[in-house]
Structures are given as C-alpha cells and as structure tokens.
Amino acid sequence: MAQTEAELLDNPVAGRPTLILRSPDFHSITEAVAEPVERRTPIGWWLFFIPSFALLGLLGVAVSWLFWEGIGIWGLNVPVGWAWDITNFVFWVGIGHAGTLISAILFLFRQKWRTSINRSAEAMTIFAVMCALTFPGIHVGRVWVAYWMFPVPNQMSMWPNFRSPLLWDVFAVSVYGTVSVLFWYVGLIPDLATIRDRAKTPIRRFVYGLLALGWRGSVRQWHHYESAYLVLAALATPLVLSVHSVVSMDFAVSLLPGWHTTIFPPYFVAGAIFSGFAMVLTLMVICRKAFRLEHIITLKHFDYMAKIMLVTGSMVGFAYATEFFTSWYSGNPYEMFTFLNRALGPYAWAYWIMVTCNVISPQIFWFKKARTSIPILFVMSIVINIGMWFERFVIIVTSLHRDFLPSAWGHFTPTIWDVSCLLGSFGLFFTMFCLFVRFLPMVATAEVKTVLPQADPHWRAGPERALRDHRAAPQTRGAPEPAPGGAS
C-alpha cells in the first residue's frame, strides 16, 4: 500500500521518504520517461512551441536590426552604458547555475532526490547559457570583429586584455557552457541507448544509436563512467562558483559605489542559485503534469527545492543587509548616497519590487503548506525570477545613472528593442526546451532506477530494511513493504 503524499513529507524520524511514488519497477520507469519521446507530438507541445518559436523570430528580427543600425536602438546613453543587455546576460547565466548545482553539487552531497530533475535542469542550464552568451555577443557594437576576444595569433600581434573581467567572462561562460554540455551528454549516453533499443523505425534507431556511441551497459564501462561522472561533478562545483563570481567581478573590480564591494562573488552565486531553482520549478511544474511524471517528480522534490530557495534567498537578503550596513559604516558619502538613491531615487520602484520579490515573498516557504502547494510554488517561482531580474537591473542602472559627479547624472529608459531582445531570449530558451522534451528523455532514467529500493543488490522483499545511506530509500517503520518489483 503506497503512502499518501502527505504522509511522505517531512517526518524526520520515520526514515527517509520514498522518492518515487506508486512503487514502480524498472520497466515502468523506462516506459514513463520514454513515452513522451516516442509517441506522436501532442497538441499541447505545439501550443508551447509555436509561441516560443515566434518569440525566437522576434529575437532574430531585433538582433538583425541591432547589427544593422547599431547599439543606439537600445536606450543606452552616457552615463548608462550598460542596462538591459548586461542585466539579461547576468539573469540568464544565473538561471543556468541551478542546473549545475542540481547535477553536480547535490550529487556530491548524495542527495538522491536530484535524480528526478537533474536531466531537465542540466538541459535548462545549457539553454540558459545559450541565451546568456547572446547578449555579450550582440552588445559589443562592432560584431564583425568579435573574434578579437579570443587569443588567436594575428598579424597585428594584438592580444586580448587578459587582465579584464570582461575577458574572464568570455572564458568562464564558454568553459561553463562546454562543461555543461559535456556533463549533460555523458549523463545522456545510457538513456540514449535505452531509446535506441526501443526504437521502432530505422531512422530513430540510427540517430539515437549514433549518439549513444554503442553503449551496452557493460559494468566495466559503468565503472569508468561513474568515475568520470564523479570527476565532472567535482569539477563542475568550483566551476559554477567561479563563473558567477567572475560575472560579479565585471562590476566588483570597478570603482563605482554599489559595484565595488567585496561580497559580490558569493552573493551573486547565491542569487544565481536562487533564480535558477525558481526557473527549474517553473519548468517542472508544467512538465510533470504535461508528461504524467508526477510519481517521479513529486511534491517531496518540490519541498526540497523550495527549501533551497529559502536558504539562497536568505543569503541574498543577508548580503543586502551587509551592504546596507557597510555603506553607512564606510563613511564614504558616495557609497551612502548610492544606497539611499536606490531606495528613494528615480528607480525606487525597481528597488522595492526587488526587495518584495526576493526577500519578503520567499519567507512564505517557511511554511510546509506553501512548499508543497503547486499554485503557490508556480507563482512564487515567477515572482522570484522577476525579483532577480530587477536585482541585476537595480545594481547596474542605479550605480551608473548617478555616480560621483552630479553634472554627469542621467537617466535610462528602455526602448522597444530592449524589450524585444529580452522577450526574444525567452523565445530562444523555451524553443530549445520544447525541442528537448520532444526528442530526448527528460528524466535521467538510469539514475532514477538506482534510487528504487529494488536496485540494491542486498534488498530483500520482506520486513527487513536496508539501512545504508547509499542505497535507495529505506522504508518507513511499520509501513508495509511495496510489492516486490525485482522480477520485471
């Protein structure tokens, strides 16, 4: 008899909760995950894909016009030389970080619940990085010489300025994109083999077979594979910390009040994880319903994700408080003015949206009811992302528009092209994600199977419990065992 979802949640003494509901066996997991990939495209998918693709088209139009006319079509001016372009860049890079956290850091902490969401989260990372890289790419002005950013020997003996954080960004984000793709692909290999082996048409068999590299589940191969997975997770962890730290250094190495502050690196990383988890939540709420995966992506998973958002949101709030205190403590009049200007100046509306969305509203997640209520989770995930977008906007624009010399003060107003680029980037993101869920298994099937109790070679159907931490979940005390699923 399966427990109700309510019983499964949050009982610290009754053992670890069962992560996968309805006690499935291995085959039913394969079926559940492979089915969306193998059947004919449902209407619902088109309902998401077509608007996304339209927005992608909008991005294409906006970027083409940008290349033709120049950066002036945006609202940028002097002193506000960066606004929506870099806000969007940091926004998307930040979102990507949750995927790596789920894949890599939660793996290192042996959190088994990650297996239901890590594949989609990693895919989300890659698409978010794609969106992110668009903005520095298009904002350079002279796009035709963008290759100057790379250390390629040339006839002028000109080299990029390695001392510049803008170049560290180029390296950090490209390495991050590359490693994320590698990590994601390595994880996909066994699942691609699953689709290959189930493929009914020769084309599918060929394409998935090619991509699966001939994987045959050999334990000797699994051994090196698991070693590679662990190493990649161990590498991705400092990488993700470094990437957003490097992004924060775009601002922190400068002299501007509000930008130059030593807490930026970990503060940006915490904020990135915060917004990234919110985006994963948005996607998972939709996908689990659309693809009938509620027994694999459960309310318990959402409970954990909400707790992580509470933790990282608190870190962001802590950073706000520290910055605010230090701006006074420093005795530096420019620092103090910057913070007062943020809260009370022309962009105060943006500041208070940020504080409400990032600090005040996530407090709702102290309550378990909120952490496990789908409507609240969905709304909150969007609210948090709005708040985090505004955080980057506030940091960038308020420090730029009023810096040291009042005669140099200015104002920034976005144009229709700023808005188009932002909306278009969402188009790129959701288009890619739609394609992903259509053609690739969105749950890491092999990993989820390892989480089932019957994956443990020492599991015996019966009243005994396997107590080891590394195994699949021990059953709650006193509850009847799930039906033996080993014989599949």
Partner 1 sequence: MISERDRVALRPEQATIPPGHPWNRLPIIGAACALLGAVACAILGAANPKQFFFSWLVSLLFFLSLALGALFFVLIQYASQGGWGIVVRRIGETVFATIPVMAVLFLPLLLGLGDLYSWAAPGAAEHDALLRWKAPYLNVPFFLIRAALFFGIWSFIALLYYRGSRGQDVTGDPRMSARLRRLAGPAIIVLALTQTFASVDWIMSLSPHWYSTMFGVYFFSGSFVGFIALLSVVAVAMRRAGLLETVISTEHLHDIGKFLFAFTAFWAYIAFSQFFLIWYANLPEETFWYKARLEGSWKTVSLLLMAGHFGVPFFYLMGRAVKRRGSTLALGGAWLLAMHFVDLYWQVMPTLHPEGVRPSALDVAAFVAVGGCFVAAASWLMRRQALVPLRDPRLAESLAFENA
Partner 2 sequence: MPLLLPQLPKGPYYGVLAEFATPGDLYHACERVRDAGFTRWDAHTPFPVHGLEGAMGIRRSPLPWIVLITGLTGAAFGFGLQWWVHASAYPLVISGKPYFSWPAFIPITFELGVLFAALGAVLGMLGLNRLPMHYHPLFRSKVFERVTDNAFFISIESWDPRFDPSATRKLLESLGARSVELLES
Q: Which residues bind partner 1 (CB under 8 A)?
A: 12-13, 16, 226, 230, 238, 241, 245, 249, 252-255, 260-266, 310, 314, 318-319, 321-323, 326, 329-332, 366, 467-470, 474
**Is residue 179 at the binding interface for partner 2, with CB under 8 A as the rule?**
yes
Question: What is the spatial distance between Cα 114 and Cα 101, in angstroms, rounded to a whole number?
Answer: 10
Question: What is the spatial distance between Cα 432 and Cα 56, in angstroms, rounded to a whole number?
Answer: 10
Closer residue to partner 2 in complex, CB, 145/487: 487
Write down the least CB distance from residue 217 to partner 2, Å. 4
Question: What is the spatial distance between Cα 322 and Cα 340, in angstroms, rounded to a whole number?
Answer: 15
Separation in Å, CA 6 to CA 3, 15, 324:
8, 15, 41
Closer residue to partner 2 in complex, CB, 187/427: 187
264 binds, among partner 1, partner 2, none (CB under 5 to 8 A by kind): partner 1
Closer residue to partner 1 in complex, CB, 288/471: 471
Write down the least CB distance from residue 253 to partner 2, Å. 9
Closer residue to partner 2 in complex, CB, 6/487: 487
Q: How many CB atoms lie within 10 A of CB 27?
A: 11
Write down the least CB distance from residue 472 to partner 1, Å. 13
The verdict on whether omega for the bond into residue 79 sits within 30 degrees of 0, i.e. cis, is: yes
Contacts of 10 (CB under 8 A, 6+ apart): 17, 303, 368
474 binds, among partner 2, partner 1, none (CB under 5 to 8 A by kind): partner 1
Closer residue to partner 2 in complex, CB, 42/214: 214
Q: Which of 48, 82, 171, 352 is close enough to bind partner 2 by CB under 8 A?
A: 171
**Is residue 487 at the binding interface for partner 2, with CB under 8 A as the rule?**
yes
Q: Which of 8, 18, 20, 25 is close enough to bind partner 2 by CB under 8 A?
A: 25
456 binds, among partner 2, partner 1, none (CB under 5 to 8 A by kind): partner 2
User: What is the identity of the amino acid at 446?
Assistant: A
CB 443 within 8 A of CB 33: yes
CA–centroid distance for 430 within its chain: 13
Question: What is the spatial distance between Cα 243 and Cα 321, in angstroms, rounded to a whole number?
Answer: 24
322 binds, among partner 2, partner 1, none (CB under 5 to 8 A by kind): partner 1
**Is residue 218 at the binding interface for partner 2, with CB under 8 A as the rule?**
yes
Q: Which DSSP letter does residue 212 get?
A: T
Contacts of 43 (CB under 8 A, 6+ apart): none
Report the alpha-carbon angle 197-203-207, nearest 5: 65
Write down the least CB distance from residue 321 to partner 1, Å. 7
Interface map 223-242 toward partner 2 (x if CB under 8 A): xxxxxx--xx--xx-xx--x
Q: Which DSSP letter does residue 473 get?
A: P
Closer residue to partner 1 in complex, CB, 405/467: 467
Write down the least CB distance from residue 68 to partner 2, Å. 33
Q: How many CB atoms lie within 10 A of CB 422?
A: 23
Write down the least CB distance from residue 129 to partner 1, Å. 22
330 binds, among partner 2, partner 1, none (CB under 5 to 8 A by kind): partner 1
The residue whose two tokens read 């509470």 is: 310
151 binds, among partner 2, partner 1, none (CB under 5 to 8 A by kind): partner 2
Write down the least CB distance from residue 310 to partner 1, Å. 7
CB 193 within 8 A of CB 216: yes
Separation in Å, CA 427 to CA 264, 283, 324:
30, 14, 36
